[in-house]
């Protein structure tokens, strides 16, 4: 998934934010688990896996990082891109906040995401599910939003506009209505708001692309892999809005923060 030096990168900030939103993550993911073996691919700090294990789920975590949950029982040090289990062995696969990393650290490649999903699908038992939760990726035709930044946040937005791997000229730029106010494409707004607070490792953060995998992409991949789409919808995490996205920003914030996709292997 990510090179070890990178995957241990900013869990001081990144992991703290994810763990603070753990309750919402659990509410979104746990209802889709059907019993049997749960594999948390890209388990990170291990917070979700530990919670599920405490609730009685049989959980195995997979992560490439050397600095997170590696010394705990039930953790496999491996790349989530690679096959780990025998075909038809797993009941549930969780991919939480990791699919954008697969995309980003494999040359901004949707093909890499398809490989990751295909390997996960092969390991599923018939009737098993892949549960994907990540940052919301707006569709290409999503409307722009009007935002007003504080001065330092606007400066960070300008830097982001110049360095983001998928910057596309006017697509990334703000249509200014004032010094720090203007219209921002929905996808760009979500991308920037989701990463703007990770200042300590800002240059590394700019290498990632959060919003390249909309729901339509997952529906298409499900068809290719012969999986049934049980759920595919955007969701809103109010904790993220109140504690992250609204800091240094006013205006019409995006209506959603995350998305959840549930793909089922046919019996």
Average pLDDT over residues 162-182: 84
- The CATH T-level fold of domain 4-137+208-265 is Rossmann fold (3.40.50)
Q: How confident is the model at residue 64 (pLDDT cuts 50, 70, 90)?
A: confident
* DSSP letter (8 states) at residue 267: -
| CA distance linking residue 26 with residue 30, whole number of Å | 5
Percent of the chain with pLDDT over 70: 88
Q: Given CA atoms 192, 198, 203, 208 in this order, what sign does their dihedral have? A: negative
pLDDT 10s digits, 66-85 = 655 556 667 888 999 999 99
Q: How confident is the model at residue 10 (pLDDT cuts 50, 70, 90)?
A: very low
Average pLDDT over residues 150-175: 87
pTM of this structure = 0.90
Percent of the chain with pLDDT over 90: 71
For 42, counting Cβ atoms within 10 Å of its Cβ (0-12 exposed, 13-18 middle, 19+ buried), the class is buried
Q: Which of 79-102 are b and which e, b meaning 16 or more Cβ less than 10 Å from the residue's Cβ?
A: bbbeebbeeeebbbbbbbbbbbbb
**Domain locations in the chain as residue ranges:** 4-137+208-265, 145-205
Average pLDDT over residues 155-177: 85
pLDDT 10s digits, 13-48 = 455 555 567 888 999 999 999 999 999 999 888 889
pLDDT 10s digits, 203-256 = 989 999 999 999 999 999 999 999 999 999 999 998 899 989 999 999 999 999
Q: Which pLDDT score is estimated for 125?
A: 98
């891109």: which residue's tokens?
Answer: 81
Q: Which pLDDT score is estimated for 144?
A: 93
Q: How confident is the model at residue 259 (pLDDT cuts 50, 70, 90)?
A: very high
Strand partners, 96: 133
Q: Which pLDDT score is estimated for 17?
A: 56
User: C-alpha 101: how far from its chain's center?
Assistant: 7
* Six token digits for residue 161: 């506009």
| CA distance linking residue 161 with residue 136, whole number of Å | 19
């Amino acid at each position: 998934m990510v090179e070890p030096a990178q995957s241990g990168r900013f869990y001081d900030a990144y992991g703290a934010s994810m763990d603070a939103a753990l309750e919402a993550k659990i509410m979104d993911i746990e209802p889709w688990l059907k019993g049997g073996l749960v594999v948390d691919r890209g388990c990170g700090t291990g917070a979700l896996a530990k919670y599920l294990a405490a609730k009685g789920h049989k959980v195995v975590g997979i992560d490439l990082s050397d600095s997170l949950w590696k010394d705990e029982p039930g953790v496999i040090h491996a790349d989530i891109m690679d096959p780990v289990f025998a075909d038809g062995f797993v009941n549930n696969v969780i991919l939480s906040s990791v699919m954008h990393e697969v995309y980003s650290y494999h040359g901004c490649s949707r093909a890499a995401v398809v490989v990751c999903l295909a390997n996960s699908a092969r390991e599923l038992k018939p009737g098993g599910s892949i549960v994907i939760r990540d940052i919301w990726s707006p569709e290409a035709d999503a409307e722009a939003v009007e935002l007003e930044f504080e001065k330092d946040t606007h400066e960070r937005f300008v830097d982001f506009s110049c360095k983001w791997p998928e910057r596309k000229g006017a697509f990334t730029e703000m249509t200014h209505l004032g010094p720090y106010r203007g219209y921002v494409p929905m996808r760009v707004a979500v991308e920037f708001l989701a990463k703007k607070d990770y200042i300590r490792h800002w240059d590394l953060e700019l290498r990632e692309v959060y919003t390249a995998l909309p729901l339509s992409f997952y529906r298409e991949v499900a068809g290719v892999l012969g999986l049934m789409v049980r759920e595919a919808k955007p969701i809103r995490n109010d904790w993220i809005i109140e504690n992250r996205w609204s800091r240094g920003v006013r205006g019409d914030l995006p209506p959603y923060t995350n998305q959840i996709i549930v793909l089922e292997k046919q019996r």
